[in-house]
Amino acid sequence: MMTTKTTRVVLLLLALCVSAFAQDPNLLLSTLPAGKDPQRYKGYIEPQFKAVTQRSLYLTMRDGAKIAVTVVLPKDLPAAQKIPAILAMTRYWRARQGGEPNAFIPAHGYALVFVDARGTGASYGVWKAPFTQDEVRDYSEVVNWIIAQPWSNGKVGAIGSSYTGNTALWLASTMNPAVKAVIPRHYEFDIYAETAYPGGLLTDWVVKTWNEGNRQLDTNPGVRLVDEDVDQKLYQEAIKRRGENLDVYAAALKTTFRDDRAFGYALDDLSLHNYAAQIEKSNVAINNWGGWFDASTPDSIIKTFLTLKNYQRAVIGPWNHGGTQNADPYQTPSSKRAMQTYEWLRFFDHYLKGIDTGLDAEKRLFYFTIGEERWKVTDRWPVAGTQMTTWYFNENNSLTTKAPTSGEDRYTINFDATTGAKNRWHTQVGGEVVYPDRAEEDKKLLTYTSEPLTADVEITGHPIVSLFITSTHTDGAFFVYLEDVDENGKVTYLTEGELRALHRRVSNEAGKLPVPYHTFLKKDAMPLVPGQVAELKFGLQPISVLVKKGHRLRVAIAGHDKDTFIRIPADGAPAIAVQRNSRALSMIELPVIKK
* Residue 96 DSSP class: B
Nearest to 297 by CA among 163, 154, 145, 111: 163
CA-to-CA separations, 97 to 19, 57, 88, 121, 225, in angstroms, rounded: 17, 13, 17, 11, 7
Phi, psi torsion values for 171, nearest 5 degrees: -60, -35
Asked if residues 327 and 291 have their Cβ atoms less than 8 Å apart, the reply is: yes
Distance in angstroms (rounded) separating the CA atoms of residues 478 and 569 = 11
* 108 burial level (CB within 10 Å; 0-12, 13-18, 19+): buried
Cβ-count burial 161-186 (b if 16+ within 10 Å, e if not)? bbbbbbbbbbbbbbbbebbbbbbbbb
Instruction: Tell which residue, 461, 555, 468, has the closest CA to residue 514.
Output: 461
Beta-strand runs (E) in 128-236: 152-161, 179-185
- Backbone φ and ψ for 432, nearest 5 degrees, come out as -80, 160
- Choose among 223, 178, 191, 228: nearest CA to 57: 228
Q: Which residues pair with 67 in a beta bridge?
A: 59
- Candidates 270, 1, 279, 321; CA nearest to 127 is 270
- What amino acid positions are annotated as catalytic residues? 162, 294, 321
Amino acid letter, residue 389: T
Q: Which amino acid is at 175?
A: M
Q: 3-state DSSP: the chain helix, strand, coil percent, rounded to 5?
A: 25, 25, 45
- The residues, any chain, with a CB within 8 Å of residue 207's CB and separated by 6 or more, are 196, 248, 249, 252
Q: Per-residue DSSP letters for 52-63?
A: EEEEEEEEE-TT
**Nearest one of 83, 91, 127, 94 to 21, comparing CA atoms:** 94
365-397 as b/e: b if 16+ CB within 10 A: bbbbbbbbbbbbebeebbbeebeeeebbbbeee
User: How far is it, in rounded angstroms, from Cα 365 to Cα 379?
Assistant: 6
What number of other Cβ atoms are within 10 A of residue 578's Cβ?
20
Cα–Cα dist 289/317, whole Å: 8
Q: CA–CA separation, 139 vs 61, rounded Å?
A: 10
Cβ burial of 425 (10 Å; 0-12, 13-18, 19+) is buried
The DSSP output letter for 370 is: B
